[in-house]
Amino acid sequence: MIVLHQFARTWGIPNQSHFCVKVETYLRMAKIPYEIVETLPFRGPRGKLPFIEDQGQKISDTRMILRYLKTAYGDPLDARLTPRQSGDATAFQRLLEEHLFWVSMYSRWHYTEANWQTTKQAIFSVLPPVIRDVGAMVYYRRINGQILGHGLGRLSPEEAFALGIEDLDALAGFLGEKPYFLGELPSSLDASAYGILINTLGCPIESPLKDHALGLKNLVEYCRRIQTEYFPELPCKLP
């Protein structure tokens, strides 16, 4: 059976990691059995979470994980997509994972001290105090360096969140009244979208990004619907 290594659950959502949510949601949508091992990033083969173990292999990076799962277990979600739908899925996955994700990280690690303390508690509270504080500071500097390298860290909060709001509006416009982003059935795009969106709407990190997202009713309903259908054991706390 596949072993999914990820952070411990917190905040009443599947995971405080956008990408851990992506992989677990994909596994549930594709009906692939798995078990969870809770861990921290430094134990991963690339120093990141999530990663999976299967048939003696360790696979990390969610793009490589999904590629592996489709090869090893079939492709029940995306094989039916038209070329146009595949193109739309790739474009919106890039928007979600290469841009909106980083605006979300900006809000957690770069925006306010209160948000950073909430993030620190969620990730590092399982460690002994001395190790916790040292590990938190190492990752705080590392993540902020990545945000700076991405370019968002060089912007003011107003500028960074304005870009994230554009992303949210594009997603809301594309979703419209559809149950899933590409129509009546889920695709891997929905696993990615839910991972990013629930970590914007459903976590205790306050920002203009979250405020705007909560005003986009179709995105709120989308997250509520996916959590109810695929994570029924977790009570949905979305408004």
Q: Is 74 left (phi over 0), alpha (psi -120 to 50) or beta?
A: left
Summarised one tens digit per residue, pLDDT across range 8-63 is: 999 999 999 999 999 999 999 999 999 999 998 877 788 889 999 999 999 999 99
The token pair that represents 88 in the structure block: 């739309």
- For residue 235, is the peptide bond before it cis, meaning its omega torsion is within 30 degrees of 0? no
Q: What was the pLDDT predicted at 44?
A: 79
Helical (H) or strand (E) element with 24 = helix 18-29
- The fold adopted by the segment(s) 2-73 is Glutaredoxin (3.40.30)
Q: What was the pLDDT predicted at 79?
A: 97
For 27-51, b where at least 16 C-beta lie within 10 A, e where not — what string?
bbbbebeeebeebbbeebeeeebbb
Summarised one tens digit per residue, pLDDT across range 169-224 is: 999 999 999 999 999 999 999 999 999 999 999 999 999 999 999 999 999 999 99
Q: What was the pLDDT predicted at 238?
A: 83
The token pair that represents 168 in the structure block: 């949210």
Mean pLDDT of the chain: 95
**All structural domains of the chain with their residue ranges:** 2-73, 83-230
- Taking domain 83-230, whether its CATH number is 1.20.1050.10 is answered by yes
Beta-carbon contacts of 158 under 8 Å, excluding residues fewer than 6 positions away, are none
Nearest-angstrom CA–CA distance, 186 and 26: 9
Sign of CA dihedral 229, 225, 32, 199: negative
**Which residues are 117's β-sheet partners?**
none
Nearest-angstrom CA–CA distance, 228 and 12: 12
Average pLDDT over residues 115-132: 88
Q: Can you say how many angstroms the Cα of residue 159 is from the centroid of all Cα atoms in its chain? A: 22
